[in-house]
Structure 1
Amino acid sequence: MDDIVSKADLTRAAQGLQKQARVESWWQRGVIYQIYPRSFQDSGGDGIGDLGGIIERLDYLVWLGVDAIWISPIFPSPMADFGYDISDYRNIDPRFGTLAEFDHLLAEAHRRGLRVLLDFVPNHTSDQHPWFLEARSSRDNPKRDMYIWRDPAPDGGPPNNWPSNFGGGGWQWDEATGQYYYHAFLKEQPDLNWRNPTVRREMYDVLRFWLDRGVDGFRVDVIWHLIKDDEFRDNPLNPDWTDGMPPHQKVLQIYNTDRPEVHEVVEEMRGVLEEYGSDRLLIGEIYLPVARLVAYYGRDLRGAHLPFNFHLIEAQWNARHLQRQIEEYEAALPEGGWPNWVLSNHDKTRIATRVGREQARVAAMLLLTLRGTPTIYYGDEIAMTDVDIPPERVQDPFERRVPGRGFGRDPQRTPMQWSGEFNAGFSTTSPWLPISPDAARFNVEAERDDPASMLSLYRRLLALRGESDALTIGSYTTVHASGDVLAYMREMGDERYLIVLNLGAAPAEITLPGPGRIVLSTKADRADERLRDRLRLGGNEGVLIEMMA
């Protein structure tokens, strides 16, 4: 795919990057693309994606039309949780490459006008991190208080009922020192004590290490977990818990997550980024109701630029529910707070699996025409779905700890499908997770020149978005619709676009607020179709209409 992007394309992309920086923050107009590096492209022939593979595919990302890449963890790790258990924050795991290769990736991305965001995992380290090895060596070690240690309860058991999000309790007994340490995830991932000033200083210096190398920002893992209750109170039981829910949801995690003091930490992180100018981006991973989510914008918008909004992932897929979710989110945003939207990620079932491939096309139009910054999960643009993982191929520790319940994350982490060739063009050897059995049909090569493909739809939507002030920084207004139809207007200046989405399988009709011209349909070739006062939609169809004066 080296011939996809010309030198002229690269020049225009770089000029566009500079132009955006002069107008608004680049991330307000931009689109972020999440790369799960183990599964994107293997350049080393070991079945695991790597930095060299990402470099090979940068031209594809420019051709697609995204503005930034977010790379899931690539730091040295024992891989108990596939990189979210970090043993060295200032290096690259040899499975992925070297620091020199990372610098090369950064330079090549920037040369193409692409920004690079890294995953920052500050809540916990690996139990093999030098800090923890020292901390558990004795109770009086200077690094002991960098982690969360407690004496047993009076009955000799764990100090309280805080859970592990991967099943079971969150306290691990340490025989050598006679105390428990807390881990919100695996026992191999001990939580840091963010009330300790040394932890804060060390971790902010980690941010500076990567900012000094030129990274454009960070997605901060489980940012709402960072501060725990200083009284270590038991969480209340969840009255709505049922057996079909993950075990950690048996309690309402009000004392080990989302504590008021966490906002001070987020503001301090933001301050570190602003030492490097105003265009570095801070994203927070936060699974909370809207009212609590928006608090992470911080006092006077001094918190995260984008507290990740996952409500499309968790939404009931019907028009009225989505309309309420969008309106409630827009209403809850603080003055000046910028919205954002996500359809899929490495922890959640892919959108095409949740709603089917036809509705996934409608979802693509929704994601890329709502007000706010969208994040695309690798492979969604070619309609990848979750892959059934045989028991002997399971990798995810969550699935291993709670087997057979469907909580595992391997199905949405399978290798990117580049072509119909051996291993979908991902690797020359057996990949770390199975290739989808439908990869011969749903892949970049097969879809690239097919005007009816999902890939072509994404590329067209991204191009339209990039050309339009209304679709990027314009206002959002709900338009009345009934049944399975969701409709809204995006406006700025003389530009007015009406987006009408049929979330049902049956045809539908809507009265228009005026005459217009169909610019793009998710289903049929209806470009330039003129409309007066009515629009007829096919089942599972979305349309983008330019409204006439």
Structure 2
Amino acid sequence: MNTEETNVELQEAQTKDAAAPKDAEDPVQVAADADATEADVSEADLDQEEQEKQPMTGGGDRAEDAPSADGEAVVSGEKNGSVKLKIPEEVEEVKFMGLNKEELLRVAGTPGWVRTRWALLVVFWLGWLGMLFGAVLIILQAPRCRDLPPTNWWNNGPLYQIGNIQAFTDTHNLKGLEQKMDSLSQLKVKGLVIGPIHVAPPDEAVNLRFEEISPEAGNLEQFKGLIQVAHRKGISVVLDLTPNYQGSSGPWFANISVRNVAERLKSALVFWLNEGVDGVQLSGVERVATIVPSLWSDIRAIVQNDTDERPNKRVLMGVTERSSAQEVSSLLSSSGVDLLISRVLCFKDMEATERARSVQLLYSSHSQTKLAWSLRGRAEGHLASLVGPPQVKLHHLLLFTLPGTPVFNYGDEIGLMDEGTKFPQMLWDSYEKLNDTLQEDRAERLSFRSFFRDLSELRGKERSLLFGDFVLLSNSSSSMAYLRVWDQSERYLAAFNWAEETEVLQLSGATLPRQATVVLSTNGSALPADSAVDLTNLRLGPGQATLLRFPYNG
């Protein structure tokens, strides 16, 4: 049945239904007719869709009705859009359950596996014993490290003397000194030597009051605050208790008063040590040690004996005007002080040969933990006034690299000049606008300070400089060179030229390499840092010094 015939029949059926009276309609028959009609429509629609899905030929017939070459109709075996799928048969997975206990024991007991296990066991133990033997051999053949020498806090960095509180600070008292702790900490200072600041009218032993601070310097509360701040910064505080520091009859007055003053000093030492000071400095130690040796022994015992309440050792520093290395060595042995500041290096016109001889004598006679190096005492002025500004850096390098503790006056780190007084006002640089001359002066001070700080920091972390051996390499009337070495640490070589003309040092030996590296130099343009120099042809300009380094070579 085609579509047109179906539509005609539907129209006729609808016409008959409309003509029939509504009340005569059979409900069952009506439902059946409706179902038949819908079925016919659906069949017609499906026939039309099937025609649209069939491939078309040139004549419009379906592909399966197209005639073949011999005139017979060919019917296609497959309909358009159908796909044949071949589903593989499922293969049952075979799981390996392993060997059971009996099977494992049977396999493990075969001769092949037994021999394999023994071979692996022998290889393991031979390898382990070989590694153990190799480790022992390396330990035995390795060079032994030297034990670090015993040192004290005053051996770990420079000591900084402030002989006049009013000249050092802006506020002219101990509170102002407390406010400068950050600046001193940047210089890696390990100890302050303060004063004297006690009440001591000139040449009046009767009115001497060790336990009372002079009003010009401050008061006891300020001193306690200073100690607390200094200790937090890792800086120890030493108090100068020289009795007659403002008089002209000697630091201990006349002979008749030495015993009385020494007795009073003993009680004062107990007082100040209980207040937290880390040591005491006394001038003229040879006088009291000779006149009243028993009292001097008591003084030493009070300061140097450690206690459970204060495990950190306290230093007893002595000051002498002796300049002969032999005399200084003798006094260092007889007095029993921990450090002795002398005038061994204070000769203005001293030749380098004499300097080298003095250093060598003291180094060979005493532990370097007892050696202190300074060019000027507390009341003898400043470094720049003694050697001149051009050689300030040279002497910074000298004091920091000699075996022992470097001791400086306040202001030596910036080249402070005396200017007609032994206690000039300390210069604290600000950022205010200055004229050209003042700007040049400030730039020079900052350069001195930077060089001082670099040396101080280097000495504090390099073992060869901190407590290494001292080896004199070369010396003449105007030049000197020495080596600082410690075990397997880097070696440091310091070379100096005090002459007004260029000096060429020819340094060679079994312990020296051909070249070394510049660490610091007083003339950075001539010997820039990190540059390599030939030790057999080391040229130093007038007043120039340099610090070189080279590695340990075994």
Q: TM-score, normalised by structure 2?
A: 0.64
Q: 1:121 to 1:472 in 2, by over 3 A?
A: same
| In structure 1, distance between residues paired with 2:330 and 2:425 | 36
Q: Is the 8 A contact 2:200 2:245 kept in 1?
A: no
Partner of 2:157: 30
| In structure 1, distance between residues paired with 2:449 and 2:256 | 42
Q: 1:529 to 1:483 in 2, by over 3 A?
A: farther
Q: Does 1:211 align with 2:294?
A: no
CA RMSD, Structure 1 to Structure 2 (Å): 3.1
Aligned with 1:498 (options 493, 500, 510): 493
User: Following TM superposition, by how much is the alpha carbon of 1:472 offset from its aligned partner in structure 2, in angstroms?
Assistant: 1.4
Aligned with 2:315 (options 278, 281, 290): 281
Q: 1:86 to 1:120 in 2, by over 3 A?
A: farther
Aligned with 1:117 (options 220, 232, 238): 238
| In structure 1, distance between residues paired with 2:286 and 2:207 | 19
Partner of 2:175: 52
User: Following TM superposition, by how much is the alpha carbon of 1:85 offset from its aligned partner in structure 2, in angstroms?
Assistant: 9.9
Q: Which amino acid aligns with 1:283?
A: M
Aligned residue pairs total 387
Partner of 2:325: 290
Q: 1:346 to 1:115 in 2, by over 3 A?
A: same
Q: Which amino acid aligns with 2:283?
A: D
Q: Does 1:193 align with 2:257?
A: yes
Q: Is the 8 A contact 2:368 2:403 kept in 1?
A: no
Q: 1:34 to 1:184 in 2, by over 3 A?
A: closer
Q: Does 1:485 align with 2:495?
A: no
Q: 1:84 to 1:103 in 2, by over 3 A?
A: farther
Partner of 2:347: 314
Q: Compare the two structures and name the one with the higher helix fraction.
A: 2
| In structure 2, distance between residues paired with 1:454 and 1:27 | 23
Structure 2: unaligned runs, 5 residues or longer: 1-147
Q: Does 1:270 align with 2:300?
A: yes
User: Following TM superposition, by how much is the alpha carbon of 1:309 offset from its aligned partner in structure 2, in angstroms?
Assistant: 2.4
| In structure 2, distance between residues paired with 1:62 and 1:501 | 28
User: Following TM superposition, by how much is the alpha carbon of 1:298 offset from its aligned partner in structure 2, in angstroms?
Assistant: 4.0
Q: 1:283 to 1:185 in 2, by over 3 A?
A: closer
Q: Which amino acid aligns with 1:110?
A: H
Q: Is the 8 A contact 1:125 1:191 kept in 2?
A: no
Q: Give deviations 1:253-297, integer Å, cap 9, x for gaps.
A: xxxxxx3x5554443222111344461000111112333323333
Q: Is the 8 A contact 2:159 2:190 kept in 1?
A: yes
Q: Give deviations 1:202-227, integer Å, cap 9, x for gaps.
A: 32111010000110001112222226
- Percent identical residues: 28
User: Following TM superposition, by how much is the alpha carbon of 1:195 offset from its aligned partner in structure 2, in angstroms?
Assistant: 4.1
Q: 1:38 to 1:441 in 2, by over 3 A?
A: farther
Q: 1:368 to 1:282 in 2, by over 3 A?
A: same
Q: Flag the structure with more relative contact order, 1 or 2, with Cα contacts below 8 A and sequence separation at least 6.
A: 1
SS at match of 1:27: helix
Partner of 2:60: none
| In structure 2, distance between residues paired with 1:52 and 1:368 | 30
Q: Is the 8 A contact 1:313 1:348 kept in 2?
A: no
User: Following TM superposition, by how much is the alpha carbon of 1:106 offset from its aligned partner in structure 2, in angstroms?
Assistant: 0.4
Partner of 2:543: 540
Q: Does 1:419 align with 2:414?
A: no
Q: Does 1:348 align with 2:342?
A: no
Q: Is the 8 A contact 1:38 1:50 kept in 2?
A: yes
Partner of 2:199: 76
Q: 1:185 to 1:441 in 2, by over 3 A?
A: farther
Q: Which amino acid aligns with 1:38?
A: Q
| In structure 2, distance between residues paired with 1:369 and 1:125 | 31
SS at match of 2:345: helix
Structure 1: unaligned runs, 5 residues or longer: 1-20, 44-48, 127-164, 167-182, 228-258, 389-410, 425-437
Q: Which amino acid aligns with 1:375?
A: V
User: Following TM superposition, by how much is the alpha carbon of 1:101 offset from its aligned partner in structure 2, in angstroms?
Assistant: 0.8
Q: Which amino acid aligns with 2:346?
A: I
| In structure 1, distance between residues paired with 2:350 and 2:304 | 38
Q: 1:120 to 1:371 in 2, by over 3 A?
A: same
Q: Which amino acid aligns with 2:408?
A: I
Matches within 5 A, 1:176-187: 183-184=249-250
Aligned with 1:67 (options 166, 178, 190): 190
Q: Which amino acid aligns with 2:154?
A: W
Q: Is the 8 A contact 2:348 2:387 kept in 1?
A: no
Task: Specify the structure having the higher radius of gyration (Cα).
Answer: 2
Q: Is the 8 A contact 1:379 1:416 kept in 2?
A: yes
Q: TM-score, normalised by structure 1?
A: 0.64
